[in-house]
A and B are shown apart, each in its own frame.
Chain A
Amino acid sequence: MRVRRRPRRLRAREQVLGRRAPGSGLLHRSPAGLKVAALAVFTAVILVVREPVVSAGGVVLVLLTALAVQVPLRMLLALLRRLWLLLLVLIVLQMLLNDPLTAVEVLSRILAALLAAQLLILTTEPVELVGVLRVLLTPLKIFGVRPGRAALAALIMLRSIPFLADQFHQAGQQAAARGLERSLRARTVPLLLGAVERARDTGRALSARGIDQV
């Protein structure tokens, strides 16, 4: 009798942003501008000091903060599932080119910065982040930058990430259905065309509504 194979798991939808940790801890309720400022200071300290103890302490601090404000560590660390290969390559390179201590320092520095940013994303609505961006861009008005426009562009970009991930996956399946799994062209051309079409549709819908900024 043939062994029944376990079916391949269906892929979960890729969500970079817009995924919020449940709950309403202190960090959820804090204003986005304050959180962005804190993240900026935290990251700057880590990057400037470059001490393994400080960086490692930073990682621990982020993890403790997450626990304190009731953000599940599982969601915070999910980021690493996507980046582990990159981090691994980095470690190996550092080991080869430098010494293990430097490798640890570099890794902890990156982890501290990444996890802190992830914590911000998990506890903040994307719209609020875009609002902060708009405020930050306001001084650039004298150079002719329109903050509302830049913010709208950022918002549309955020929304298109899951769409592009879906398109990429779909293009892969379409290619596979034709036996073209290995064809780079079959996998990328539909993705590009889909992206252009989506951009055109979104642009048309916005101009039909008379919207050019948020």
Chain B
Amino acid sequence: MTESPQTISFRDVRVLAAGRLLLEVPQLDLSEQRISVIGPNGGGKSTLLQLVNGLVEPTEGYVTTDGLDTVEHGRQVRQRAGFVFSNPAAQLVMPTPLEDVELSLRRSIGHADQRRRIAQDCLVGLGIADLAARSSQELSSGQQQLVALATVLVFKPQILLLDEPTTLLDLANAARFTSMVSRLEDAHGICTITATHDLELAAGAERTLLVEDGRIAADGEPEQIITAYRSRSTA
């Protein structure tokens, strides 16, 4: 089997917490550029996403991202696969957005001036340079989420894992976030895996996974999977 560079594969994966099975994925290979993950709360969507960058380690089995095992090479995997969470405020730790983006670079870039320049460029690239010196606490959730995206993008990841990134945002901010992500997909060829309850957003993907009761209940064309999910949920 030839593997394309951005392949994520799951082999005999089981995640257990206190004896309870959270997620079981016997075999899964992901190589599409836009993948969406839908399903009920507590079904295992977040666990699936966090397995990809090693934030959750499989109790049994293996997950590899770009050919790297997520347990053995956790740090490298996390450099390649950026993660954006649904709670914007909890992801920012520095007083201002610019400093937060710089913080992401601290390990990789020694010079403070250079860090500042790259961080500034990153904010400019996302069209949020005006937020650079504002107080992170006082930004709106939508702005905070864009900054959270910047803190991750500055690594230049090939994969973006988005865990309900727009759930806490209003319509305009959610649209802004989504359009920014799709611009990144087009411009830099970044692959995205988005877990969401927004079925319209999920429908924009090339492939959709329905995760329910700790397993992948359905996998395929977005339209088909979403229809199946709708009929299950209302039945």
- Chain A interface residues (CB < 8 Å from chain B): 18, 125-127, 152, 155-156, 159, 162-163, 198, 201-202, 204-211, 213-214
- Contacting A at CB under 8 A, from B107-142, are 107, 135, 137
CA distance A130 to B87 in the complex (A): 25
If A127-B99, A209-B78, A214-B106 touch, whether A202 touches B93 (CB-CB below 8 Å) is yes
Contacts of B169 in A (CB 8 A): none
Given contacts A127-B99, A209-B82, A214-B106, 4 further A-B contacts (CB under 8 A): A127-B94, A163-B89, A198-B87, A210-B75
A131 to chain B, nearest CB (A): 11
CA distance A206 to B78 in the complex (A): 11
Contacts of A152 in B (CB 8 A): 93
**A159 in complex: contacting residue of B50, B79, B85, B137, CB < 8 Å:** B137
**A206 in complex: contacting residue of B87, B93, B137, CB < 8 Å:** B93
Q: Is the CB–CB distance between B90 and A202 below 8 Å?
A: yes
**B104 in complex: contacting residue of A125, A202, A209, CB < 8 Å:** A209
Contacts between the two chains (Cβ within 8 Å), count: 65
Contacts of B205 in A (CB 8 A): none
Contacts of A213 in B (CB 8 A): 106
Q: Is the CB–CB distance between A210 and B87 below 8 Å?
A: no
The 4 closest A-B pairs by CB, nearest first: A201-B90, A208-B83, A205-B91, A202-B90
Which of chain A's residues has its CB closest to B107's CB? A210
- Of the A-B pairs whose beta carbons lie under 8 Å apart in the complex, a sample of 29, sorted by A's number, is A18-B137, A127-B95, A159-B93, A159-B137, A162-B137, A198-B87, A201-B85, A201-B90, A201-B91, A202-B91, A202-B93, A204-B85, A205-B83, A205-B85, A205-B90, A205-B91, A205-B148, A206-B93, A208-B53, A208-B78, A208-B82, A208-B83, A209-B151, A209-B152, A209-B155, A210-B79, A211-B93, A211-B103, A214-B106
Contacts of B106 in A (CB 8 A): 211, 213-214
Which of chain B's residues has its CB closest to A159's CB? B93
CA distance A127 to B95 in the complex (A): 7
If A18-B135, A162-B137, A214-B103 touch, whether A208 touches B93 (CB-CB below 8 Å) is no
B55 at the interface (CB under 8 A from A): yes
Which of chain A's residues has its CB closest to B99's CB? A127
Q: Is the CB–CB distance between B95 and A125 below 8 Å?
A: yes
A127 to chain B, nearest CB (A): 6
B121 to chain A, nearest CB (A): 18
Contacts of B78 in A (CB 8 A): 207-210
Which of chain B's residues has its CB closest to A208's CB? B83
- Contacting A at CB under 8 A, from B162-180, are none
Q: Is the CB–CB distance between A207 and B107 below 8 Å?
A: no
B144 to chain A, nearest CB (A): 12
CA distance A171 to B232 in the complex (A): 36
CA distance A208 to B55 in the complex (A): 7
CA distance A127 to B136 in the complex (A): 13
Contacts of B87 in A (CB 8 A): 198, 201
Contacts of A155 in B (CB 8 A): 93-94
CA distance A210 to B78 in the complex (A): 7
B33 to chain A, nearest CB (A): 21
Q: Is the CB–CB distance between B91 and A207 below 8 Å?
A: no
Contacts of B137 in A (CB 8 A): 18, 159, 162
CA distance A163 to B106 in the complex (A): 26
Which of chain A's residues has its CB closest to B151's CB? A209
Contacts of A201 in B (CB 8 A): 85, 87, 90-91
A65 to chain B, nearest CB (A): 25
Which of chain B's residues has its CB closest to A214's CB? B103
A153 to chain B, nearest CB (A): 10
A206 to chain B, nearest CB (A): 7
CA distance A213 to B137 in the complex (A): 20
CA distance A59 to B90 in the complex (A): 39
CA distance A152 to B78 in the complex (A): 20
Which of chain B's residues has its CB closest to A18's CB? B95
A21 to chain B, nearest CB (A): 15
Which of chain A's residues has its CB closest to B56's CB? A204
Contacts of A205 in B (CB 8 A): 83, 85, 90-91, 148
